[in-house]
Amino acid sequence: MATGGRCDFAILGLGRMGANLMRQAVDKGYRVAGYTKGAPPESPGSRFTLLADLSRLRDALKPPRKVFLYVPAGVAVDELIRALAKILERGDIILDGGNSYWGDSVRRARKLEPLGIHVLDLGTSGGVDGARNGACFMIGGPRDAVAQVEPILKKLATRGGYVHAGPSGSGHFTKLVHNGIEFGMLQAIGEGVDLLEHFPADLPIADVLACWRHGSVIRSWLIDLMEERYREDGMKAVPGVIEDTGEVNWLVADAMELEVATPAIALSVTQLIASRDTSKNWAKAIAMMRHGFGGHPYGRSKYLQRERRTSRIGGFVAPEKP
């Protein structure tokens, strides 16, 4: 942890994920520097330093410098990495904690390799609650660079929620597969709730969901969220339109390139798209759970529509043969 006045690491992008990860780190004794273009979060105390501009980053951190990025995937990541390449030095480390396409992560790592600056892809799961209380991290990159940030990540992860997935791109690839599985699970739960709603007699659906939370084969955090949101909001007030950033579309396309059949994941994507033309109970149920774990908005979102169009930069990158 920090000695003297310099910080242990920086977080660029202090939205819901970045700010909550910063608060968790400060609580655990780290000194953290932060930079954001939006409204800065309330300072948690003297262990947090808000930087007025990126030019102060080099002097604010202990070398080798460790810089976490929690900004929207796409052009913003490239622009920020270009700016950091002019500020950081050989041996410094950038960790992209957003939902970047894994092929973009491989390209970025290769581009900064001649400068001696490491770009690691850090798949981050667990939502806002995980960022605040213990996240799930999947990191990709060379072993020597990963070893330098591993103690921090293990400290900020929930117990057992850390893996060095492999070389560059593997962290974001495993997070992308995770998101595809998530979509399939959301779809199955949503269809189950729809079936409960269509039973010929009235069912105590919230109580059924509560029962499933205890000892059933399908007990999960998603079932927890479904019961909590069902009791709080019911179904009628929730729009049957589901927005997303388009990440799992990338996975379905990659599955075709890899010649791996993913029928459940592919169908869950098509059903999500179908929700934008009609109102269905399964779509409302998924929207309720997504709102619960990630604060995703109800109904249409111009921000997420833009993310679908802009967050992926490059195309599929063929893995290098050993």
Q: List residues with catalytic annotation.
A: 175, 182
What are the two backbone dihedrals, phi and then psi, of residue 44, each rounded to the nearest 5 degrees? Answer: -85, 5
* Helical (H) or strand (E) element with 49: strand 48-50
Residue 301 CA from chain centroid, whole number:
18
Mean pLDDT of 6-26: 96
Distances (CA, A) of 20 to 32, 109, 131, 154: 12, 26, 5, 16
* pLDDT at position 25: 97
**165-194 tens-digit pLDDT:** 999 999 999 999 999 999 999 999 999 999
Mean of pLDDT over the chain: 92
**74-86 tens-digit pLDDT:** 999 999 999 999 9
**39-51 tens-digit pLDDT:** 888 878 889 999 9
Least confident of 151-155, 183-187, 261-265, 299-303: 299-303
Mean pLDDT of 283-293: 90
Q: Which domains does the chain have, with CATH numbers?
A: 9-166 (3.40.50.720), 174-310 (1.10.1040.10)
Tokens of 316: 């599929």
